[in-house]
Structure 1
């Protein structure tokens, strides 16, 4: 997958050269290009922002640097691409969107800053995405989160690809509790079922634990439940 990120602060993305994403680039699974769009400004001082027409607080990013940068990206690759505008008003990014983006060959992230974007920049985007109902200084951190979450679904990035599909939110449930050695630590023991070797019982326990964790912490995710899961939740509610 090719990923272009248009930003005013390219040094912020040094973290993407570490850990799994760094290894994915070394393997050629991800071709990551961090572009300072200031270089596409035609202003002699390389300004990329200006005051809004009609007045108002703050500065707006001008359309010209973004359009020139996208012109160059399209010249280098005329194929299909998803262009993602990091926007607090956009659709909430989640695990399903990450999985969907991972099917693409080319992603472009547009990172805003200052008060916001000139409205015409939105015409470049195929997607408007947000990481939550709050405002941060710029789109850089949001872009890093989305790239990381998306990359986990690219075959070969994770040592065990099944991990991405068993993470929290992949099936609208939070991930079940997990344990490793030692069997007992400071009086806290690993549940006997995980030591039983009975894979059917382990799978059932994990599902029930994931359901209970979701019921307690994120009940809003429980939109589609089997009759057996509904019965379990009813039991928990009766035992409160």
Structure 2
């Protein structure tokens, strides 16, 4: 996968792109991570990429020219090796997803991360002003994403969040390929509790079932604990989730236990 980020502060990405999981994925050649300063595409001697809004009002608005020029320049460059079809012919390279990071965008979720992980090329646009010229939204971007209902000083941090979330889903990035599959939200539920050595720490013991070696029972316990944790912390996630009859019976037990506990308090 190729990931390009258009930003006024490419230096912010140096540490993130070169460290931890992202850095290892980059070294393995699984993902190409690039930060481009779109001020280089300003087209004027002052390097200005923003201007006052038509109609008045406070703040500055990001101009369309530098963003369009930067994206068009990226698209004019090779997007990686073309794969071959069984017939030996070159397979067409898919157009990139061009993602605008902004508070008005679709809330980023694990489902969206899984969708973007199927792409060959992602381009992120990060602004630092009052807003974007609307023509960028209407005629350039394919997606608008937000990481939550709050406002940051720019799109760089949200872009880092999305890139990290997507990259870890690529084959070969994580040491254990099942890790991403069982993560919170990947199954629709919060993840079950984890334990490791020692068996007992300050009087707190690892649940016996995890020491039993009975994989079917362990899997059932993990499913029940994932349901418990989701029901306790994010019950909204259970709405619309396809549950088995066994899941429903377990949730009923949890609800009955909660009623008994409240009555005793």
- TM-score w.r.t. the length of structure 1 is 0.97
Q: What is the Cα deviation at residue 116 of structure 1?
A: 1.1
Alpha-carbon displacement from aligned partner over 1:118-177 (angstroms, at most 9, x marks no partner): 101112111111101111111101100101000111111111111111100001100100
Alignment of 1:118-129 (within 5 A): 118-122=133-137, 123-129=139-145
Aligned equivalents of 1:239, 1:177: Cα separation in 2: 20
Largest Rg, 1 or 2: 2
Find the counterpart in structure 2 of residue 72 from structure 1: 73
Find the counterpart in structure 2 of residue 230 from structure 1: 248
Q: What is the Cα deviation at residue 229 of structure 1?
A: 1.6
- Is 1:194 the counterpart of 2:195? The answer is no
Find the counterpart in structure 2 of residue 36 from structure 1: 37
Aligned equivalents of 2:21, 2:8: Cα separation in 1: 25
Pairs aligned (count): 240
Q: What is the Cα deviation at residue 231 of structure 1?
A: 2.0
SS of residue in 1 equivalent to 2:254: helix
- Is 1:17 the counterpart of 2:35? The answer is no
Aligned equivalents of 1:183, 1:235: Cα separation in 2: 28
Alpha-carbon displacement from aligned partner over 1:31-65 (angstroms, at most 9, x marks no partner): 11110000100121101111110011111110000
Aligned equivalents of 1:207, 1:237: Cα separation in 2: 16
Q: What is the Cα deviation at residue 227 of structure 1?
A: 2.3
Aligned equivalents of 2:250, 2:118: Cα separation in 1: 36
192, 199, 215: which one aligns with 1:176:
192
SS of residue in 1 equivalent to 2:76: helix
Aligned residues: CA RMSD: 1.1
Runs of at least 4 residues off by over 4 Å: none
